[in-house]
Amino acid sequence: MVLTLGKGQLEDISFQLAVEVVGEILGITESDQQGKIRRIYNVLNASISKAKNTLLSKFWLNFRRVVHTGIFFWYDVRPAIKARKLQPKDDAISTYLQEGYSNTAIIIECLTYGSAGMLTTREFIIMCSWYMLEDENLRAQFLAGDDKTQLAILMEILRLEPIANKVLRKLDEPVEGLSEQTLPAGEKYDIDIRNINIDENFVGECPFAIDPERATKQKDTGRFYSFGDGPHGCPGWQVALHETRIFLTHFLAVPGIRMEREPDIIWNDMVHGYELRNAIVACD
Ligand code: HEM
């Protein structure tokens, strides 16, 4: 669709890929592709939008959320549930059915995976493309690298430009030694991923440089804090990295590929992260 015209909007390309990959994991595979992407876009867009501080605006946003969730359920989730009841597959919806989840519980899971896995990967692919279309040396290093080097470069870009900027945690027990006073149990804290990821004590020297060897030097996987950590750490981190790596290996090798219009950077308070919009890529 995109390359036949010689140019395309990068967020459309990356979102389509992210929807297909997470859709396969969930088992949302029984509906038409373009319609599914449009419906998922509408439901997720409504769920991460913020209403103005008026009753009418709040009502309108809630109305949009309910309607788009209903449409998504009817055209995409319901057919998938029906198909998996007849013939289970190796996907999440089949597992939810085996475990007796209700329709409501299944749609909540689908929306959680949608915002956690589709929206994040959409931005990640755009950010990595931007970095590498701007920097010829980095792009050459990426294209010439083996899988390990390619993944290391992607993780370094994510370290500097984390999609999720903070995670929230509640203390189970009092913690001593972090500040003058003991931090009491039950207290909630924001963990600032962007700052942790550039802390020399954690990531080593020259924290603002992209260094594919950093993970080895620091004896880390290279994900640092970009995907969170602990029991609620991101379960899809390897999926996100691999799909991005495979896509970029082909995309960046297209002859004459270039960024015709750089993205606008928008801050989204609802997801505590950035969104990159209106980037146009073109090729000869
Ligand atoms: C570059 C892409 C991605 C980034 C930056 C990202 C980042 C994160 C972060 C920071 C968290 C919170 C972790 C915490 O609280 O410690 C998270 C949670 C989560 N992620 Fe990802 N993620 C990405 C892709 C994905 C993908 C592809 C999937 C699904 C296949 C996914 C599924 C989830 C789920 C389900 C959670 C909630 C886990 C829980 O609360 O137990 N993510 N992600």
Q: Which mutation among 120, 124, 151, 161 tests ligand 1's pocket best, with the greatest number of atoms within 8 A of CB? A: 120
Q: Which residue has the CA at smallest separation from atom 41 of ligand 1?
A: 232
Centre of ligand 1 from the C-alpha of residue 236, in Å: 6
pLDDT at residue 1 in the model: 46
68 or 180, higher pLDDT: 68
Is residue 229 lining ligand 1, measured as CB closer than 6 Å?
A: yes
Q: Is the pLDDT of residue 241 over 80?
A: yes
Q: Which residue has the CA at smallest separation from atom 43 of ligand 1?
A: 234
Nearest Cα residue to 73 out of 96, 105, 46: 105
Is residue 191 lining ligand 1, measured as CB closer than 6 Å?
A: no
Range with the lowest mean pLDDT among 120-134, 168-182, 255-269?
168-182
Q: Is the pLDDT of residue 5 over 80?
A: no
Q: Is the pLDDT of residue 8 over 60?
A: yes
Q: Is the pLDDT of residue 2 over 60?
A: no
| Residue 270 pLDDT class (50, 70, 90 cuts) | confident
Chain centroid offset of residue 201 CA: 27
Domains of the chain, start order: 8-282 (1.10.630.10)
Region of 192 (left: φ > 0; alpha: ψ -120 to 50; beta: rest) is beta
Q: Is the pLDDT of residue 110 over 90?
A: yes
Q: Which atom of ligand 1 is nearest to the CA of 168?
A: 15
Share of the chain above pLDDT 70, in %: 99
Q: Which residue has the CA at smallest separation from atom 8 of ligand 1?
A: 227
Centre of ligand 1 from the C-alpha of residue 169, in Å: 15
- Going by the DSSP 8-state scheme, the letter that residue 73 receives in this structure is I
Question: 26-30, 113-117, 168-172 — which one is most confidently predicted on average?
Answer: 26-30
